[in-house]
Structure 1
Amino acid sequence: MPGNLSRRDTIDPVLDIGYALSARFPDPPQTDYRRADVRALRHDLFSGDVYLADTEKDHELSTAWGWVPVLDFAWALCDIVEQLDRDPAGSRAARPQRAELDFTESSDRLLFERRFGWVDIDAEWLPPSEPLLSFSHSELRREARDFLHDLIADLTDMHEDLGDNPAIWTLQARFPRLP
């Protein structure tokens, strides 16, 4: 890079968050999505795989296990983004703010570190030589919430009764889409 400019000064990475539901671990056919409790929604339903990708660098962190609770991932990601914003100095904070997303059925974790408004994301299951993903905190917040709402819309299209679940209403109200 020319001069003293860092990658962050010259390129705005584009974050893409996605998922694929697993055919190997389908939801039980007798599931009442309208009455499913938070534990079932977060841990027992909607298994699959997830990814976070920097589309500018064509680099992604993804799972390939098939059993990741996809709704829980979206929910936890939104929680983590808010947790990373607790420092009163906000994007001016020099002290790193850290959080982790652990996968319940595994010892693997996604590690998040925010400093000066940027969040680095690392996956423990990848070799240390793999580069980190790095996004502005505001982009991560916006994309995480969009992912959550898009996922809920997709799941509701597949299971109409899910749209009548009070836990889903609460989740959508807690993390509204951002402009």
Structure 2
Amino acid sequence: MIDLGYSLSRRFPDPPQTDYRTADVRALRHDLFCGDVYLADTEADRELSTAWGWVPVLDFAWALCDIVEQLDRDPQGSRSARRHHAELDFTESADRMLFERRFGWVEVTADWVPLEEPPLTFNHGALRREARDFLHDLIADLTDMHEGLADNPVIWDLQARFPRV
């Protein structure tokens, strides 16, 4: 089973003068909602997580949904033996999460994980569902915390682009 989660940082708070209703894509993806994220395989009791405090969590959720879709571009879908690669790079560092899909499975690893540690492996359909659920749950949390965010057209577009599965 897949578990995705986040925590917001107290060291990197959002600027108090932020108007969430009109925040642009750049601000939403890179400047606001900093913290840490994790992706865990609860059955194997293993996870990939950040501990930096500055990861833009909305950008992580958004990028993860983009990556899952990118990995699904082969017309053969889960029957495809070809390897499809994608990476999620973290803006303020050289660290990356690496994704590889073959058949219906996605292997996930990261630059900061020792090479001898095996990747996390998830069913592609389950990863898509969990990534979208995570995005919608995160948006719900953030809109509860930040007045006006629910009225931001960028958030509306994001929710429409990646509906819950």
Q: Give TM-score, length-normalised by structure 1.
A: 0.91
Cα separation, 1, equivalents of 2:23 and 2:111: 32
Q: Give TM-score, length-normalised by structure 2.
A: 0.99
- 1:120 CA displacement: 0.1
Q: Percent identity, please.
A: 80
Matching residue's letter, 1:56: E
- Equivalent residue, structure 2, for 1:50: 37
- 1:60-79 alignment, distance < 5 Å: 60-79=47-66
- 1:139-178 alignment, distance < 5 Å: 139-178=126-165
1:103 and 2:87 aligned: no
- Look at both structures and tell me which one has the larger radius of gyration over its CA atoms: 1
Q: Which runs of 4+ in 1 moved over 6 A?
A: none
Aligned equivalent of 2:73, options 86, 99, 111: 86
- Equivalent residue, structure 2, for 1:7: none
User: What RMSD over aligned residues (CA atoms) do the two structures have, in Å?
Assistant: 0.5
Q: Match of 2:148, SS?
A: helix
- Count of residue pairs brought into register by the alignment: 165
- Structure 2: gaps spanning 5 or more residues: none
Cα separation, 2, equivalents of 1:125 and 1:55: 20
Cα separation, 1, equivalents of 2:16 and 2:71: 38
- Structure 1: gaps spanning 5 or more residues: 1-13
